[in-house]
Every structure is written in C-alpha cells, then in structure tokens.
C-alpha cells in the first residue's frame, strides 16, 4: 500500500481544489493528518482549516466551543478534579519552493502499513498537523475523560509573536485557558520534553567619530569598541542548569554584526546583536540582568524577550503523564508556546509525533505509527 486514500478526506464531498469539505474525526489519526495537510493553512491563511475544525467540534454534544478569530477552544465541563489542556497550532510555514519537494499540498505517502513503514509527507506533517489530528480524534472519542480537557487550536504560531493566536486568547478569554497542566503537541519524537529555555536578543551599538582613514587619529573607531564585547562572547562558557531533574544547556552567541561605510572611513557606528538562551531557573528580568553584568559600560537595547518555562514535572498530572509515556523526559532547548502557559501559571510540556528536525524541511514527513502511538498514549492517560 504505497498511496492509500484517506477516509478522512474522501468519505465527504471535496471542494474543486481537492480540499475536504468536512473532517471525519473518527478516522485513523494518520489518515486524518493527511486530510489536514490537504487544507493549506500557511500563517495568515488559516481560516479554511479553522472553519473545518470548528464545524467538526460543534457537532460534538459533550463539548462547549468558543471561536476567536481563527482560534478555537473546545472544553468538557464534567466537574472533574483536574483540568488539562491539549494545545496545537493550525498554521504552517510557507510551502516549499524546491522542485520535486514532497513537503507540499496535497499530502503523499510512501511505504506500507503491512511492513510498518507507512510514511506521510506534506507541509505540516511534523509541525504540527499530526498533533492536531490526535487532538481532534481524542476530542471526538473522549466524552467521559477522567480529567476535564480543554482542546486549544490556534493560529499564527509560525510568525512574529505579536500575531500569536494563543497570546490573543490569553488576552481575550484567559479563564478558558486555565488548567492544572498542559500538553503542547509539538513534535518530540514521542518523548516528553519538559518546559523550555527562554530566549532574548539585545543589541550593543557603541558610537564613534567618523574620520578619513588616512587621519585615523582624528576619529574614534566604533568597530574597535566592540572588541571587549566579542572577547566576552568568545570566552563565555554556557552553563548547564538542572531544573526539576532536567538539564537545560544555555547559550550566548553573536548572531548579527554590522559597521563601516567605506574603505577609507573610520566608522562612527557599529553594532552586534546577541542571543541569550537561558534555563527556566531564571525570570526574564534575571536573564536581562545577567546580560548587563557581562557587558559593563555598554548600553544593551533588548529587542526580543520570551520567558522560559518550568517543566512542572512535580505536579501529579505531569507525573501520571510521564508514566503513561513510559520514557525518560528530556529538556526542551528551543522555545515553544509552553512558555505562554507557564506564564499563565499552567505547567506545560511538549509531546507529539514526529521529529522536530524535520519541521519546515522540503521533505517534511511523519510515520503513521508515530501519530497512532501518540494517540494511544494520550488515550491511556485520559481514559
């Protein structure tokens, strides 16, 4: 079976573009993933997929549904002792441009279920329509979960944080996001990745005095004033910090540098942009202060600030979830929206199907078994 037809996409009438007009939430989660891939949802164009998701969820009597722009929240209201969030974003990065790429719309398959190597290709296969398919299938099946569940599907994750659909929900309906624990179904290869490092960027831009390079003594070279900054960066030894049993590795690196106007001019301006990845033992304010202490005598202009997230593995819900997964948790070195939940007071982890290293690539793909295994784990935990 090299190119199976997806029941999630073919049992319902399709649009002229080949897009499904409805979603079959009872379908095999790998097939449902294919149906989701077939609905292009590049950031700023999530509406068609959001419409399908909303329509499918409103057909489930055990859920209350709220829509905000292209974000949808669906909740059980059973009065359980705990509430958990399952969250995922609907948007993808733009489609590949490379000729012959398989990370495109529509989806495609290789391998076979009989041989256990059935693989699904297409934009969003890994990041993160496999996770969204798992959410949707559970939302349909779990009418009586052992914990109340809030399912969050949101827009604009793959773009500037100012556009984030999750941040918009936090502003408009914060009460609907409150929970004891959250799972973000970002790709983790089926392993729990607890919390995430924080990240910030800042610019150091010393001023000098322009002069003809033939009379350099009449000027003040701004590039030379970056020498001590670059020396600090070259000598910096990033810390590895344990938080709740997970070892987070930090990093401090120059990511952009500029200066100079001509071959015979002493530059009067120069700048270096620096990225600091910091462990979740620090607040944003503490991370900023650490950077200021590293570069005394320089003014730091902070241009991006994203807090870290503690993993919350000491919570009862988290411990039960880790036990259900059955693998040793790992730290998340990159930044994800678990940080937004953590800032709301909701401990969060990343857990989803697919290899994060394949996200955004031209051959983005995920195995059918990885999607199904993710669903089995969450179903066991919640039922």
pTM of the model: 0.84
Q: What is the pLDDT of residues 144-202, one digit of tens each?
A: 999 999 999 999 999 888 899 999 999 999 999 999 999 999 999 999 999 899 999 99
- The C-alpha atoms of residue 215 and residue 368 are separated, in whole angstroms, by 68
Does 267 have pLDDT greater than 50?
yes
Average pLDDT over residues 366-377: 97
pLDDT at position 7 is: 45
pLDDT at position 14 is: 38
Between the CA of residue 2 and those of 110, 111, 114, 251, what are the distances in Å? 5, 5, 10, 43
pLDDT at position 334 is: 83
- Tell the residue number behind the tokens 């649009």, with chain if given: 15
SS3 291: helix
| Confidence band for 99, pLDDT divided at 50, 70 and 90 | confident
Average pLDDT over residues 360-369: 95
Please classify residue 100 by burial: count the beta carbons closer than 10 Å to its beta carbon, then call 0-12 exposed, 13-18 middle and 19+ buried.
exposed
| Confidence band for 328, pLDDT divided at 50, 70 and 90 | very high
Does 370 have pLDDT greater than 80?
yes
pLDDT at position 262 is: 96
- The C-alpha atoms of residue 50 and residue 271 are separated, in whole angstroms, by 42
Residue 189 and residue 239 in contact, taking contact as beta carbons nearer than 8 Å: no
Does 1 have pLDDT greater than 70?
no
pLDDT at position 109 is: 95
pLDDT at position 97 is: 83
Both tokens of 96, joined, read: 């590949």
- Which residues are catalytically annotated? 91, 157
Does 280 have pLDDT greater than 60?
yes
| Confidence band for 121, pLDDT divided at 50, 70 and 90 | very high
What is the DSSP code (8-state) at residue 129? I
Of the listed ranges 67-71, 331-335, 367-371, the least confidently predicted one is 331-335
Please classify residue 219 by burial: count the beta carbons closer than 10 Å to its beta carbon, then call 0-12 exposed, 13-18 middle and 19+ buried.
middle
269: which strand partners?
207
Peptide bond into 128 cis (omega under 30): yes
Q: Taking the mean position of all CA atoms in its chain, how far away is CA 213?
A: 48
366: which strand partners?
120
Q: What average pLDDT does the chain have? A: 92
Residue 60 and residue 140 in contact, taking contact as beta carbons nearer than 8 Å: yes
Q: Which residue has the higher pLDDT, 310 or 151?
A: 151
Nearest CA among 96, 113, 137 for reference residue 1: 113
- The C-alpha atoms of residue 304 and residue 198 are separated, in whole angstroms, by 11
Does 17 have pLDDT greater than 60?
no
- Tell the residue number behind the tokens 């993993």, with chain if given: 311
pLDDT at position 147 is: 95
């Amino acid at each position: 079976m090299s190119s199976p037809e997806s029941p999630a996409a073919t049992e319902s009438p399709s649009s002229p573009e080949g897009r499904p007009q409805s979603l079959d939430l009872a379908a095999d989660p790998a097939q449902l993933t294919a149906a989701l891939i077939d609905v292009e949802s590049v950031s700023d164009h999530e509406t068609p997929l959001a419409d399908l998701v909303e329509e499918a969820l409103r057909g489930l009597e055990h859920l209350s549904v709220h829509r905000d722009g292209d974000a949808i929240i669906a909740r059980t209201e059973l009065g359980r002792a705990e509430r958990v969030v399952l969250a995922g974003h609907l948007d993808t990065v733009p489609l590949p441009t490379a000729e012959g790429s398989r990370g495109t719309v529509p989806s495609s398959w290789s391998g076979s279920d009989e041989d256990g190597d059935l693989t699904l290709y297409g934009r969003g296969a890994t990041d993160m329509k496999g996770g969204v398919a798992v959410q949707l299938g559970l939302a349909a099946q779990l009418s009586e979960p052992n914990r109340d569940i809030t399912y969050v599907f949101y827009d604009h994750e793959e773009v500037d944080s100012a556009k984030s659909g999750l941040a918009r929900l936090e502003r408009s309906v914060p009460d609907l996001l409150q929970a004891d624990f959250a799972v973000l179904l970002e790709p983790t290869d089926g392993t729990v990745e607890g919390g995430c490092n924080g990240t910030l960027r800042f610019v150091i831009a010393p001023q000098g005095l322009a002069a003809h390079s033939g009379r350099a003594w009449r000027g003040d070279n701004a590039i030379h004033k970056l020498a001590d900054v670059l020396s600090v960066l070259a000598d910096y030894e990033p810390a590895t910090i344990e938080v709740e049993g997970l070892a987070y590795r930090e990093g401090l690196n120059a990511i952009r540098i500029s200066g100079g106007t001509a071959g015979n001019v002493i530059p009067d301006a120069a700048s270096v942009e620096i990225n600091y990845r910091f462990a979740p033992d620090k607040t944003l304010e503490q991370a900023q202060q650490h950077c200021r202490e590293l570069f005394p005598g320089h003014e730091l202009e902070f241009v991006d600030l994203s807090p870290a997230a503690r993993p919350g593995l000491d919570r009862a819900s988290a411990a039960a979830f880790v036990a259900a997964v059955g693998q040793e948790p790992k730290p998340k070195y990159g930044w994800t929206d678990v940080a937004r939940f953590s800032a709301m007071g909701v401990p969060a982890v990343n857990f989803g199907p697919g290899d994060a290293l394949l996200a955004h690539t031209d051959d983005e793909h995920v195995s059918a078994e990885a999607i199904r295994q993710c669903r089995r784990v969450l179903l066991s935990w919640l039922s």
